[in-house]
C-alpha cells in the first residue's frame, strides 16, 4: 500500500498542537480566552517532549534501525523532523504571543521590560528585589567545590557567564522557582503592569555575583524524559502502590530531552551545557517568549471584571427527562439515559451513586477509576457505600500518566473506608469507564450499568465533551459483570456478544463491522468520532473500505495517521478535527446508515483507535439500543462533521484547512449543543 496514505504519528500530533496555538491567534475567540490556548500549547508541548520524544530517544539507544510501521522513519529521523517543526512552531508562538500582549494593553494589562521603566520605578523594584527576593535566592558559581547542580524538570533558572578577576570564565546558576515570592510582580505606580520575577532576578544578577562581571545571561528551563514503563521496572516483591510512588520520584531525575534558553548565548557555552547536562546540542532551543506561560492565568484573573473578554458563561443543565427530586433507580430501570457533557450535568450520575450507597436493595458497586477530581464526590459516594456495608470493588489504574500521585492518595482513602482495591491488570492498563450497581430484588439479581467515554471526574465533565450511558439492560449488565469478574481474577475477557472489550474483542469486532460495510460497497457507511487514529490494522481496513466505495467520515481531534482524499485510495474518506472551547473527548462508532435504521450499529466507548487502546488496554464500548438515544448520537455526529467554526478538514497535502459550509454563517457544534441543552428539552437545575 502506498506510503503517502500514512502520516507519522509524532508529526500529526504537532499539527494538532498547532491547531491549539491557532486558537490563541484566532480573533473570533475572546481575548482573555486566547491566553489559555497559548499556555495549553506550551504545556502540551512539554508533555510531548517528556513522553514521546523521550520514548524515541530511548528507542534510539535500544535499536537505532527500528522504523515506524507507517512512514518507515527511524527514531532519529523522527526526532530530527520534530525539532525542525518545533522551531517553526516556536516562531509562530512568538508572533501570536506578542500580538496577544499588544491587544491586552488597551485593557489595562501589560508585561513590561525593565528597560522601559522610569528611574523611580527601577529604584522601587531594586529595593523590592533586595528585600523580598534576594534573601530567598541560592546563587552558586560552578567550580570544583560546587559541581553543576541538578536542574529540576520544567523549573526556571537564571544562568550567567561570569568573568572573574583572573579573567577565567565561569558559570553561575540561580534557581528562580520559589513558593515565597510571586511570579508576576506588579509595578506599584502602574496597576496592571507586571514584570516576571525571573527577568527581575536576571536583571539584578550582578548584585548576587559581586566578585564577577557578567558576560552573558539567559533564563533556562530543562525538560526531562518521563517515559517510564512501570511493567518493565516492577519488582514483584514490592508493594505496587509504594513502587509507583518510587517511580514518580525517579521520573523527576530522568535524562533531559530539551533545553530552552530565553536569550542567545555563545556556541561554546551551549556546547559546554550540552556536555554537562548530557543533552544533544540540537536539543537546545532558543525561545523568544517567557519559558513558562502559566502566568497568563493570573492575567485572566486580573481581567475578570471585563466579561466581554471571556466566553459567555455556560452552566451544565440537568436533563429534563431525569427527575432529580424522585428516586433515580426506578427511573433508570424503566429506560436508558444518555448524559452529554459538558452540556448536561454529571449531577444525575452522582445522585444515582449516592442513592445506591444508601439503597437497601443494592448489594455491590463496582467501578473502574482512571483519573478523578482532587476532591471527588464520586470517591465520597464509594466510601459511603462501603461504610454502609455494601461490597465496593474499585479498579484503580495507578499508571494514569501524571495522575499517579492523586490516584495513590485516592486508593488509600478508598481502602481505609473498606473498599476492595485492584491495581490495574498487569501488562494492560484499565482505561474503561465502567460502573456496575448490583441489586438483589424479589425478581432476582438486577443491574444498573453506566458506561462512558470519559473519566469519573466532576471537573473535566465541565471541560470535556463526553457521553455517559446509564442502562438497566440485562444483556449489558451481564457482560459488564463478566468484565469485572475477569479483572478481579487478573484476566481479560475472551469473548463477548454485545460489548466491545479490548484487548481481545474490540479491534477484531471493529474490523468485522468495517468488512460488513465493505460488502455493501457504495451503499456502505462508516462514521467514527475519536481522539486519535494510529492503529495501522484499522487504518488499512478503512483504506480498503474507501477503495470499495464506502463513505467514511472521521472526526479525529488529535493524531490522525490516515491521509484522506488520495485519488483511488482514500478518496472516499473525510477527516475533520475540532479544537474549541471544550476538549473533544467523546467516542462514537457508527456502522451502517445515518438514517433511522435499526440495522445501523452504534457504539460509544472509552477507546481511541490507537494500538495502545486496541491491543494494550482494557477498553469497553457499548452498543446503543434505545431509538431516541441512537437518533441523538446521529445528530451529535452529523453536527460535529458540519462544524466549520472550529472544525478543520485534513487534506491529502497533510494540512488542515478552514471550511465554509454555511455561506459565512459559521456553525460551532459545541455552542449549538449548549443552546440545545438550554432549550425547551432541558430544565434549569
For residue 20, give the nearest of 315, 286, 293 by alpha carbon: 293
Please list the residues that pair with 672 across neighbouring strands: none
Phi, psi of 171 (to 5 degrees): -105, 140
Identified catalytic residue from 431, 585, 635, 662: 431
Per-residue CA distances from 323 to 12, 35, 234, 319, 347 (Å): 44, 39, 48, 8, 11
Number of helical (H) and strand (E) elements in the chain, helices listed first: 20, 30
For residue 563, the 8-state DSSP code is P
Cell of 399: 499508571
Cell of 527: 462514521
> In the chain, helix, strand, coil percent, each to 5?
40, 25, 35
Distance of CA 299 to the CA centre of its chain: 23
Strand pairing category for 362-369 and 391-396: parallel
CA dihedral (147, 152, 154, 155) in degrees, to 10, reads -80
Phi, psi of 10 (to 5 degrees): -70, -40
Please list the residues that pair with 682 across neighbouring strands: 319
Rg (CA), the chain: 27
For residue 580, give the nearest of 494, 646, 654 by alpha carbon: 646
**How many angstroms separate the CA atoms of 230 and 232, rounded?**
6
Beta carbons within 8 Å of 524's beta carbon, 6+ residues apart: 516, 517, 518, 545, 548, 549, 550, 551
- Is residue 107 annotated as a catalytic residue, yes or no? no
Distance of CA 84 to the CA centre of its chain: 24
CB 524 within 8 A of CB 517: yes
CB 366 within 8 A of CB 450: no
CB 583 within 8 A of CB 646: no
Per-residue CA distances from 74 to 56, 61, 611 (Å): 9, 12, 19
Per-residue CA distances from 406 to 32, 112, 266, 426, 516 (Å): 30, 37, 42, 20, 43
For the chain, the first-to-last Cα distance in angstroms comes to 54
Angle CA 506–511–513, to nearest 5? 95
Q: If phi over 0 gives left and psi between -120 and 50 gives alpha, with beta otherwise, what is residue 671?
A: alpha
Neighbour tally for 354: CB within 10 Å: 17
Q: Determine the 3-state secondary structure of 340 from DSSP.
A: strand
> DSSP string of 36-47?
HHHHHHHHHHHH
> Which stretches within 550-663 are classed as H helix?
611-616, 627-642
For residue 6, the 8-state DSSP code is B
Neighbour tally for 427: CB within 10 Å: 10
For residue 311, the 8-state DSSP code is P
CB 523 within 8 A of CB 500: no
Active site residues: 431
Amino acid at each position: 500500500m502506498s506510503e503517502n496514505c500514512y502520516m507519522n504519528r509524532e508529526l500529526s500530533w504537532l499539527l494538532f498542537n498547532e491547531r491549539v496555538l491557532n486558537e490563541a491567534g484566532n480573533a473570533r475567540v475572546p481575548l482573555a480566552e486566547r491566553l489559555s490556548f497559548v499556555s495549553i500549547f506550551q504545556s502540551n508541548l512539554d508533555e510531548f517532549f517528556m513522553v514521546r520524544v523521550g520514548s524515541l530517544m530511548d528507542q534510539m539507544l535500544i535499536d537505532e534501525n527500528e522504523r515506524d510501521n507507517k512512514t518507515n522513519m527511524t527514531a532519529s529521523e523522527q526526532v530530527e523532523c520534530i525539532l525542525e517543526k518545533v522551531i517553526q512552531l516556536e516562531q509562530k508562538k512568538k508572533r501570536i504571543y506578542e500580538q496577544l500582549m499588544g491587544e491586552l494593553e488597551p485593557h489595562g494589562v501589560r508585561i513590561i521590560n525593565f528597560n522601559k521603566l522610569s528611574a523611580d520605578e527601577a529604584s522601587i523594584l531594586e529595593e523590592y528585589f533586595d528585600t523580598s527576593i534576594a534573601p530567598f535566592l541560592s546563587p552558586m558559581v560552578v567550580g570544583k567545590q560546587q559541581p553543576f547542580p541538578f536542574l529540576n524538570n520544567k523549573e526556571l533558572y537564571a544562568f550567567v557567564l561570569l568573568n572573574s578577576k583572573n579573567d577565567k570564565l565561569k558559570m553561575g546558576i540561580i534557581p528562580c522557582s520559589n513558593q515565597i515570592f510571586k511570579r508576576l510582580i506588579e509595578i506599584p505606580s502602574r496597576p496592571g503592569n507586571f514584570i516576571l520575577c525571573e527577568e527581575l532576578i536576571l536583571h539584578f544578577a550582578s548584585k548576587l555575583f559581586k566578585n564577577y562581571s557578567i558576560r552573558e545571561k539567559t533564563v533556562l528551563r530543562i525538560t526531562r524524559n518521563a517515559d517510564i514503563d512501570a511493567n518493565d521496572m516492577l519488582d514483584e516483591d514490592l508493594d505496587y502502590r509504594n513502587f509507583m510512588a518510587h517511580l514518580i520520584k525517579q521520573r523527576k531525575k530522568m535524562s533531559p530531552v530539551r533545553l530552552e534558553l530565553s536569550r542567545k548565548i555563545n556556541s561554546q557555552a551551549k556546547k559546554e551545557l550540552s556536555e554537562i547536562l548530557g543533552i544533544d546540542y540540537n536539543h537546545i532551543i532558543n525561545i523568544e517568549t517567557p519559558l513558562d506561560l502559566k502566568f497568563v492565568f493570573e492575567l485572566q484573573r486580573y481581567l475578570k471584571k471585563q466579561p466581554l473578554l471571556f466566553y459567555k458563561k455556560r452552566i451544565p443543565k440537568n436533563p429534563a427527562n431525569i427527575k432529580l427530586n424522585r428516586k433515580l433507580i426506578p427511573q433508570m430501570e424503566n429506560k436508558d439515559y444518555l448524559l452529554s457533557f459538558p452540556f448536561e450535568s454529571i449531577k444525575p450520575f452522582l445522585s444515582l451513586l449516592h442513592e445506591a450507597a444508601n439503597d437497601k436493595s443494592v448489594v455491590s458497586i463496582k467501578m473502574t477509576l482512571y483519573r478523578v477530581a482532587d476532591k471527588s464526590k464520586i470517591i465520597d459516594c464509594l466510601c459511603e457505600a462501603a461504610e454502609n456495608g455494601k461490597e465496593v470493588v474499585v479498579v484503580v489504574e495507578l499508571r494514569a500518566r501524571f495522575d499517579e500521585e492523586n490516584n495513590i492518595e485516592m486508593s488509600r482513602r478508598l481502602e481505609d473506608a473498606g473498599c476492595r482495591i485492584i491495581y490495574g491488570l498487569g501488562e494492560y492498563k484499565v482505561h474503561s469507564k465502567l460502573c456496575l450497581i448490583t441489586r438483589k430484588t424479589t425478581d432476582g439479581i438486577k443491574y444498573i450499568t453506566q458506561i462512558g467515554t470519559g473519566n469519573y471526574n466532576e471537573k473535566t465533565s465541565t471541560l470535556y465533551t463526553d457521553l455517559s450511558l446509564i442502562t438497566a439492560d440485562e444483556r449489558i449488565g451481564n457482560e459488564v459483570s463478566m468484565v469485572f469478574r475477569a479483572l478481579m481474577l487478573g484476566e481479560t475477557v475472551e469473548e463477548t456478544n454485545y460489548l466491545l472489550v479490548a484487548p481481545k474483542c474490540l479491534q477484531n469486532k471493529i474490523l468485522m463491522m468495517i468488512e460488513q460495510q465493505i460488502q455493501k460497497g457504495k451503499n456502505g457507511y462508516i462514521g467514527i468520532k475519536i481522539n486519535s487514529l494510529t492503529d495501522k490494522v484499522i487504518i488499512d481496513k478503512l483504506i480498503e473500505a474507501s477503495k470499495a466505495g464506502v463513505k467514511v467520515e472521521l472526526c479525529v481531534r488529535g493524531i490522525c495517521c490516515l491521509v484522506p482524499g488520495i485519488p483511488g485510495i482514500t478518496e472516499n474518506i473525510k477527516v475533520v478535527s475540532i479544537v474549541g472551547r471544550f476538549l473533544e473527548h467523546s467516542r462514537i462508532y457508527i456502522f451502517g446508515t445515518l438514517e433511522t435504521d435499526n440495522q445501523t450499529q452504534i457504539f460509544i466507548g472509552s477507546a481511541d483507535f490507537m494500538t495502545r487502546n486496541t491491543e494494550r488496554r482494557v477498553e469497553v464500548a457499548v452498543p446503543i439500543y434505545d431509538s431516541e438515544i441512537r437518533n441523538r448520537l446521529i445528530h451529535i455526529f452529523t453536527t460535529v462533521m458540519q462544524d466549520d467554526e472550529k472544525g478543520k478538514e485534513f487534506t491529502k497535502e497533510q494540512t488542515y484547512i478552514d471550511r465554509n459550509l454555511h455561506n459565512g454563517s459559521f456553525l460551532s457544534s459545541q455552542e449549538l449543543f449548549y443552546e440545545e441543552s438550554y432549550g425547551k428539552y432541558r430544565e434549569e437545575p
